[in-house]
Structure 1
């Protein structure tokens, strides 16, 4: 495991860190973006854009279109506020916004919980292999599926 350290945030600290990271990237922190981020942060397992849109529609008393949520989530992924869990077509909040590194996601096939670990030996080797194959701007997306400790017992 690498010695990479980052600060994990939660609650109001997480919202403030996300706002700082987004505005630091030259983007605006709008009410809708804050609502989408707060809703995503509420989920302990990866959430789909449809889940977020449905929950926001109920909370606001008016329909929030999934396409609007998708655009915001794509922005969050580009600016490192969220991670996309490719195999589930879902998103997970980044609890350390502004910290750029490649995560390896561990996804439970039973309960859906997703956690991450940092191992720059693995992701560094993948980036190097991509560059050796002629690719530029390589970004490893690594997902391991299995059973979490709770479900395995």
Structure 2
């Protein structure tokens, strides 16, 4: 299919190693705290807020971790392509292919909250071109479509 993008999707330890390598390549350090935040993000079944992640990391550490510390780490992860921000939910998901840079489209279920990430470079490319024609620069498409996922639409 033209316009679609194929890449290796990591999971588990392989994803942690890929994320660590990407962060170090970006000139940043992979600290224990950053590792724990990334692990907590990976463990989520749907987009998670900084507060959700802070709670999980606090439980794992046995001491309270401030949500604003987690926000800073999540912002770094988004900047270095280790995570993606679901804008409409103010929540984050781990990027299963951290070395791959492209625009993404989220399909978000209004019932269960799950976010499915799809790539369609033709669609996001058309959006970037339209924005450039309108005089915009430094464009970062964030496309979110809401509806019911296959499981929830079967249940209704």
Q: Compute the TM-score of the two structures, normalised by the length of structure 2.
A: 0.96
Three-state SS of the structure 2 residue aligned to 1:105 is strand
Q: CA deviation at 1:133?
A: 1.2
Q: In the alignment, which residue of structure 1 is the partner of 2:83?
A: 82
Q: What is the rounded CA distance, in whole Å, between the counterparts of 2:59 and 2:12 in structure 1?
A: 22
Unaligned segments of structure 2, at least 5 residues: none
Instruction: Report the RMSD for the aligned CA atoms in angstroms.
Output: 0.8
Q: What is the rounded CA distance, in whole Å, between the counterparts of 1:59 and 1:37 in structure 2?
A: 13
Q: Compute the TM-score of the two structures, normalised by the length of structure 1.
A: 0.98
Q: In the alignment, which residue of structure 2 is the partner of 1:26?
A: 27
Q: CA deviation at 1:55?
A: 1.2
Q: What is the rounded CA distance, in whole Å, between the counterparts of 2:59 and 2:21 in structure 1?
A: 28
Task: Figure out how many residues of one structure are paired with residues of the other and give that number.
Answer: 153
Three-state SS of the structure 1 residue aligned to 2:28 is coil
Q: What is the rounded CA distance, in whole Å, between the counterparts of 1:68 and 1:133 in structure 2?
A: 37
Correspondence 1:56-67 to 2 at 5 A? 56-67=57-68
Correspondence 1:45-124 to 2 at 5 A? 45-124=46-125
Three-state SS of the structure 2 residue aligned to 1:107 is strand
Mapped pair 1:17 → 2:54: no
Q: In the alignment, which residue of structure 2 is the partner of 1:38?
A: 39
Q: In the alignment, which residue of structure 2 is the partner of 1:140?
A: 141
Off by >2 Å, runs of 4+ in structure 1: none
Unaligned segments of structure 1, at least 5 residues: none
Three-state SS of the structure 1 residue aligned to 2:138 is coil
Three-state SS of the structure 1 residue aligned to 2:20 is helix
